Structure 1
């Protein structure tokens, strides 16, 4: 499905019912916006990891502008600011009031920024393997220097510089770096999922070569009042767990969970435990 919003067209998909029969009554299920990472990837890596949650909530997937199946446009518009405003426009387009905002990695940065700007429309906030400021870049480079192979260190320079020339180079980056992102990565079983992902080098170049170098919402997180769950992976190289701890400390009454057997891709390393944590949090905090 596609929504013409603001100055672009956003692809979205919905899994699960908004209303379910409970005895003689209809019960509303929470609407959860799942914000994908990258930037430069798409929403498909969230399927089927999060699909079982659709039995308890309505899942709304979408691709950021210029990424996945959403419309391409001027690369200079591929910004965090526009990703936040596109999310708000999509909420309005779907006629929803208060929503659950769930973002992982870069999607978590969008989620935090949205919750700061539109707190009245956030019923719950869930951020996974993410950060609140640009300071993660230096720490990630230090971790890669300590843990990565020479090939991984070399190919990651394209990430730090924002110089991917085409989709093939970006796909090669994710293939070489896959063992750094997931502790359970299996090249024989996991590669097909990446083959289905639509990649956008322009989006990741604009982010890492530009706005992520000054991104910082840490000093505004104290304004978030929605029940918040912060999840980190103990072995995450690019968004290390100390940044999850920092976020949880800054948001009033936030819950913090560190997954001990996960890298950056918690949904790949501990998928069932991740789903249980999300479902349990939404039930307990509702």
Structure 2
């Protein structure tokens, strides 16, 4: 008799290790592999278990900590292309030649940089609440930055960070999400200390400078791209994608109303269905 699938909350932390490098990751589900790149200050425990469990019904879902973050060893690079090499390392260690690559917020910067450097390794690129490379016309909001700078984020912070404070529905969704991400009782990851935050911001600045030409390369890579955004994203406004909507032939965009910076946290089932249909029916 087969055992029940392991849930995101039950999944144990593993390590991909080689001389001089050790990256922490968790894996659930079976099927086509999906590697997810995490947000600013995100650790293994920051992903919504409901979203991961929905994805794991159809895919092998792999989440990881960047070098120097959470349970991974080393130091978080300040060059976004160097951060993206963690994806190269992890994929090699778990023996994946090609995979779906997803990224949320800062993780979207990492995912896009990886995809433009190694497009043959990415079957589909899924971007959640993130910005395109290069200089963007619409900046983040001060309220988001203020909440980000709190060392410990309470529910009210996370309403501002990932949801839509003006929507009663979104605030209720935030409460449910907040309970889910604190449901794990053991094998917890290590929060990111304040002294490491500057590396994230340096990486974001490097991404905006775009010395790698990622913005132009997005229009040329043979990879389907799905962007899912909230209509009021205080960190990565969806409007930043409008300038590229007719320049990238492989780009599809979905905008969710009354939703903020974490669309997959507010709508874990719906966002998973969008991703599933995108993967099933989009081929190049």
Q: TM-score range by the shorter chain?
A: 0.7 to 0.9
Give unmatched runs, 5+ long, in structure 2: 1-13, 165-169, 183-187
Matching residue of 2:205 = 213
Match of 2:16 in 1: 3
CA contact (8 A) 2:71 2:190 kept: yes
Q: Root-mean-square deviation (CA), in Å?
A: 2.6
CA distance in 2, matches of 1:245, 1:31: 30
Check if 1:237 corresponds to 2:229: no
Give the secondary-structure state (helix, strand or coil) at the position aligned to 2:253: strand
Distance in 2 (alpha carbons) for counterparts of 1:81 and 1:87: 10
Structure 1 residue matching 2:91: 3-state secondary structure: helix
| C-alpha distance in structure 2 between counterparts of 1:13 and 1:32, whole Å | 12
Contact 1:15 1:54 in 2 (8 A): yes
Secondary structure (helix, strand or coil) at the match of 2:108 reads: helix
Shift of 1:133: 3.3
Deviation at 1:90, TM superposition (A): 1.1
Work out the number of aligned pairs and report it. Answer: 251
Go from structure 1 to structure 2 and tell me whether the alpha carbon gap of 1:278 and 1:108 turns closer, same or farther (over 3 Å shift).
Answer: same
Residue 130 of structure 1: aligned partner? 130
Indicate conservation of the 8 Å contact 2:123/2:223, yes or no: yes
Greater per-residue helix proportion: 1
3-state SS in 2 of match to 1:224: coil
- Deviation, 1:189, is 4.8
1:225 partnered with 2:222: yes
Distance 1:235 1:189, change over 3 A: same
CA contact (8 A) 1:35 1:62 kept: yes
From the superposition, tell whether residues 138 and 83 of structure 1 become closer, same or farther in structure 2 (CA, over 3 Å). Answer: same
Q: Give the match for residue 84 of structure 2.
A: 84
**Counterpart-to-counterpart distance in 1, 2:93 and 2:218:** 27
Contact 1:129 1:244 in 2 (8 A): no
Q: Could you state the TM-score of these two structures normalised by the residue count of structure 1?
A: 0.77
Give the structure 1 partner of residue 7 of structure 2: none
